[in-house]
Structure 1
Amino acid sequence: MSPPPAPPAAAAADSPAASAAGPRPIAVLVDREGLGDSLLKLPFLRAIARAYPDHPIWWISSHQTAMANDLAPFVRPLIARVIDHAGLTTPPRAVIARLRALPPFEMVFDSRTRGLTVLLARLFLRHRGFYCCLPGYMLSSRRPPGRFARPSGIAARMLSLAAAAIGGDPDWRGRLDIAEAARRLAAERLPEGPVYVGLAPGSREARKNWPIDRYVALARRLAESGRVPVFMIGPQEAEMVATIRRAVPEALLPEVEPVDPGLGLKRLELAIAVGERLAAVVANDNGIGHLMASIGTPLVSLFGPTDIGRWAPFTEQGVIVSATQFGGTAMEAIPVDAAFAAAERLLVESRDGAHGGSPNRL
């Protein structure tokens, strides 16, 4: 069993903003978050931090959260404290004790959707306002203006909670700050001139991966059309490198080349810097796709068995290609022609300035 979070006295010792003499913190309760899950909540985090600058934000996860590791360097200005593995799911008696050990909060935003766990937080956390994602905003202090049904998508759902608290449209836009050394390195590996199109062939789940031979075929089509394919390869995709280099020698793999440790780059900084130089990206339903959406790179998202309505990246420049459009749910159902056409559409829109509008236009 995970140990309970530190009681209020200990919290005050390592977070001066949590002192009883200072403003009450704001709590954000989450369940289990990989990189993509956390990135979908980033617009909400920005909105709340801007709307309530005097209240430190505590990000409290029942299990693990990317806010505590991969995204920590980028959200440090926004989050005062991250508590992961907080054990706020089961058993109820232990959960109640852990909730009571937490300090009073100005507001609580509960992103979870299991009725009992949300109810326990509503009853046993001390707060002046509570906002949650249950159907009809049940248990929330109030609903967002003009809305009775919660949105399907994670990002839009979280922003609706911000709207409920603020009483209007939240200011959610922002950027991920990275070291200039990362941008210089990306510029060396992707020099000015060519039109670069990123390809992100991995994910944590094999069922969400478009086959590598399709990515290779897409890379060839892009090269034939005068673009330079750029494979975004992390450690978990290392076994693909030889295949890609053999099949598409003109492709670039900027993250595979060694990086001087003396540059002190944080994880994801080079990926972000590379993404800033891409005209578009084609990605599975994966963390890199959500990362590219978060920095505004035009994104083609390939979806198979996962729920598009819930997990679509939050972007104003995006196209979704779904296996269901081609009579299946397996990623293999998506043809290369469809992915290429979607990329071409984004490249034209980006060039002509025709994108924009709602982040839900995917």
Structure 2
Amino acid sequence: MSPSARSGSPREFVVFSGGEIIGDGMFKLPFVRALRAAMPENSRLVWMTTGDTVYRTLLKDLTEGLVDEYLRLPPLRVGYRDLLGPPVLDRQFDTLMDTQHKIRRTLWLRNRLSSRTFVSGSLRGFLSSPLSKARPAGPPTAHLLDRLFRIGEAAVGAPLKPVPLVLPDTRWDETARSLLDPERPCVGLVPGSGDPKKRWPLERFVALARGLVRIGMQPVFVLGPQEAGIAATLREQVPEALFPLEQVPGADPCLTIALARRLHATVANDSGGSHLVAAAGRPMVCLFRSANVRDKYAPRLEVVRALAPQDFGKTDMGGLTVRHVEEALFAVLGAAAPPPPA
């Protein structure tokens, strides 16, 4: 029997997600914080996946107190015969939110899991429970975070409002302060990405960094574990640059966010690192491989420029020149944004 079926037990809100790696987890985190804040008191948030999620591992400090339970399903079989049948869990949920848009998977979730209310964005909410309040409202939107917020609002029956990110420990801010030069304006550079097609050519990051040095600014390379192999090349070609994360073995994602809060701006490929940097809320230039991907995943920041090769009549990352990126960077640096903390 579901815990929520017992008298006086908490109401359960279940979010179905395929799983999260670092970029997905950071991108969705504003939704998780806003959903939790909008949920009624004495309710529980259950995060349901078919794969691993960094909310249980790398980002567990940032989801502490937000998610009450993690529930992992086996890989879904969604052949037509699999869409009908008895519930696969001996548990009834109060509200089940489907955050993906593959129709057969949505039908499986609606038919093979037991819930009092089902909310999905598939087919513009047509597959949600037959209650108007359970259908995500508003015109179609490409941006994934907008879709998530609409699903959450339909589920809780109240607006979802952004909640500022608070790091769980002040030591990250103290460490970040010690790793950067307080006398020079610092610009972050995030040249990595798990997908080679998403990477702006490394030599252009080098050229951008050298240009910053010439005008008295401090380039700061933000490298993840996958970028260890390019650190030596960058050090040789831009000896004036800083590599702060290399000075802290096993650096936590919280340190990346704390460092980004002290940068005047950042230029980043679309990557897990860019989503970590975006969580700091500072001015940013984000480079996307296509305009369609940008429309779906662009950071939601007060000061941001999101570039794609299609903006300049090109089809791959090589179509973004150093001049294109420099102009965007100077635009965000000159925008009305508060300076980073001293």
- Give the 3 Å change call, closer, same or farther, for CA 302–119 of structure 1 in structure 2: same
1:224 is aligned to 2:214: yes
What's the secondary structure of 1:150's corresponding residue? coil
Q: Is 1:62 paired with 2:50? A: yes
Q: 1:152 to 1:239 in 2, by over 3 A?
A: same
The match for 1:286 is 271
Q: Give 1:331 shift.
A: 0.8
Residue number among 194, 208, 212 corresponding to 2:198 in the alignment: 208
For residues 258 and 199 of structure 2, what CA distance do their matches in structure 1 show?
24
Q: Give structure 1 stretches of 5+ with no counterpart.
A: 1-7, 354-362
The superposition leaves residues 170-200 of structure 1 with CA deviations (integer Å, 9 ceiling, x where unpaired) of: 1222204242222222111114232111000
Structure 1 counterpart of 2:110: 122
Alignment of 1:1-362 (within 5 A): 22-52=9-39, 53-84=41-72, 86-90=74-78, 100-101=88-89, 103-141=91-129, 142=132, 147-259=137-249, 267-305=252-290, 307-351=293-337
What SS does structure 1 have at the residue aligned with 2:177?
helix
Q: Deviations over 1:219-275 (max 9, x none)?
A: 11122222111000111001111111111111100001244x8xxx6x212211111
Structure 2, unaligned runs of 5 or more: none
SS at match of 2:263: coil
Matched position secondary structure for 1:229: strand
The offset of 1:135, in angstroms, is 2.6
With over 3 angstroms needed to count, the CA separation of the structure-2 counterparts of 1:19 and 1:78, relative to structure 1, is farther
TM-score w.r.t. length of structure 2: 0.88
Distance in 1 (CA, whole Å) between partners of 2:86 and 2:173 is 43
TM-score (norm 1): 0.84
Check whether the contact 2:83–2:112 (CA below 8 A) recurs between aligned residues: no
1:89–1:298 distance in 2 versus 1, CA, 3 Å: farther
Aligned counterparts of 1:125 and 1:212: Cα–Cα separation in 2: 47
Paired residues of 1:232 and 1:254 also in contact (CA < 8 A): yes
Between the aligned partners of 2:322 and 2:69, the Cα distance in structure 1 is 44
Q: Is the 8 A contact 2:136 2:150 kept in 1?
A: no
What is the CA-CA distance between 1:95 and the residue it aligns to? 8.1
Contact 1:144/1:168 (CA < 8 Å) preserved in 2?
no
Q: Match for residue 358 of structure 1? A: none
Contact (CA 8 Å) 1:135, 1:149: kept in 2 or not? no
Note the C-alpha offset of 1:120.
Answer: 1.9
AA aligned opposite 2:289: G
How far the C-alpha of 1:153 sits from its partner, in A, is 1.2
Deviates more, 1:99-108 or 1:325-334: 99-108
- C-alpha change, 1:225 and 1:95, in structure 2 (3 Å) is farther
> What letter corresponds to residue 139 of structure 2 in structure 1?
A
Deviations 1:152-184 (A, max 9, x none): 111111011122234453122220424222222
> Is contact 1:18-1:56 (8 Å) kept?
no
Q: Secondary structure at the match of 1:127?
A: strand
Q: Which deviates more, 82-91 or 37-46?
A: 82-91
Q: Which moved further from structure 2: 54-63 or 159-168?
A: 159-168
| Counterpart code for 1:158 | L
More moved, 18-27 vs 331-340:
18-27
| Counterparts in 2 of 1:86 and 1:28: CA distance versus 1, 3 Å | farther
Corresponding residue SS for 1:159? helix
Q: Is the 8 A contact 2:269 2:287 kept in 1?
A: yes
Distance 2:157 2:103 in 1: 25
Give the Cα–Cα distance (whole angstroms) in 1 for the partners of residues 92 and 134 of structure 2. 24
CA distance, structure 2, for counterparts of residue 201 and residue 20 of structure 1: 54
Deviation at 1:97, TM superposition (A): 7.8
